[in-house]
């Protein structure tokens, strides 16, 4: 079985603001670290005072506080019909069955990642991605995880979450598997994984499905 090393997709810096949910800007610091409940109370007070812009800024700080506690993670991983064009902008794929040689596109959102300040004043996000196939009984089908390269984004904001899509090219596999992907936030070293069920059918199997 040969697992083709990827195609990777990442958001170009020129459209980063639209593609990474631009939720940032910390709330105004106080003498002590606020609890989430205290921050929420402050946000409610700002809304009552009609200070909507300040409330939104504080709400972004609230979300940053949440991700500081949760650490790095991935969410909303799913198969898509073609590469995503924006945050949450994709065409879901109805079937997880693929013809031989057909690329597998996946969408995933990330949160709790590190922001590395650059000399230009921008913040860099850097992820390393790898994948493998697992049999339905949990056996890894490759000797090691297959590197898909890195994904690098830069933003002059302080984003809370982001997205990217991945393109997998798998040859020689037949039957049902779990497509397991590992995403590492390089700056912190934290790793998160997601698994999506997929099935690779031969032409005979696909013809039988069409005849039903």
In angstroms, rounded to a whole number, what is the distance separating the alpha carbons of residues 106 and 164?
A: 9
In angstroms, rounded to a whole number, what is the distance separating the alpha carbons of residues 74 and 144?
A: 21
Residue that the structure tokens 């506690």 belong to? 69
pLDDT of residue 75: 96
pLDDT of residue 33: 79
Q: What residues of the chain score a pLDDT lower than 70?
A: 1-32, 203-212
- Write out the two tokens for 175: 């039957």
pLDDT of residue 66: 93
pLDDT of residue 203: 59
pLDDT of residue 70: 92
pLDDT of residue 212: 52
In angstroms, rounded to a whole number, what is the distance separating the alpha carbons of residues 27 and 5?
A: 42
Helices and strands (DSSP H and E) totals, the chain: 4, 10
Taken in order of first residue, the domains within the chain and their CATH numbers are 2-20+72-211 (2.60.40.10)
């Amino acid at each position: 079985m040969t697992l083709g090393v990827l195609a990777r997709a990442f958001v170009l810096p020129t459209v980063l603001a639209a593609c990474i949910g631009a939720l940032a800007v910390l709330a105004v610091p106080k003498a002590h670290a606020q609890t989430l409940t205290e921050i929420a109370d402050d946000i409610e007070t700002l809304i009552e005072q009609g200070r909507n812009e300040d409330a939104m800024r504080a709400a972004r700080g609230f979300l940053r506080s949440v991700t500081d506690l949760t650490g790095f993670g991935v969410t909303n991983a799913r198969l898509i019909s073609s590469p995503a064009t924006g945050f949450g902008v994709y065409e879901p794929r109805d079937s997880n069955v693929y013809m031989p040689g057909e690329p597998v596109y996946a969408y995933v959102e990330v949160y709790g990642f590190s922001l590395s300040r650059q000399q230009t004043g921008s913040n860099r996000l850097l992820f390393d991605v790898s994948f493998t196939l697992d049999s339905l009984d949990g056996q890894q089908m490759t000797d090691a995880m297959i590197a898909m390269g890195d994904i690098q984004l830069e933003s002059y904001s302080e984003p809370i979450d982001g997205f990217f899509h991945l393109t997998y090219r798998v040859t020689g596999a037949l039957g049902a598997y779990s497509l397991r992907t590992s995403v590492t936030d390089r700056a912190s070293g934290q790793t998160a994984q997601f698994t999506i069920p997929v099935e690779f059918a031969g032409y005979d199997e696909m013809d039988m499905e069409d005849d039903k």
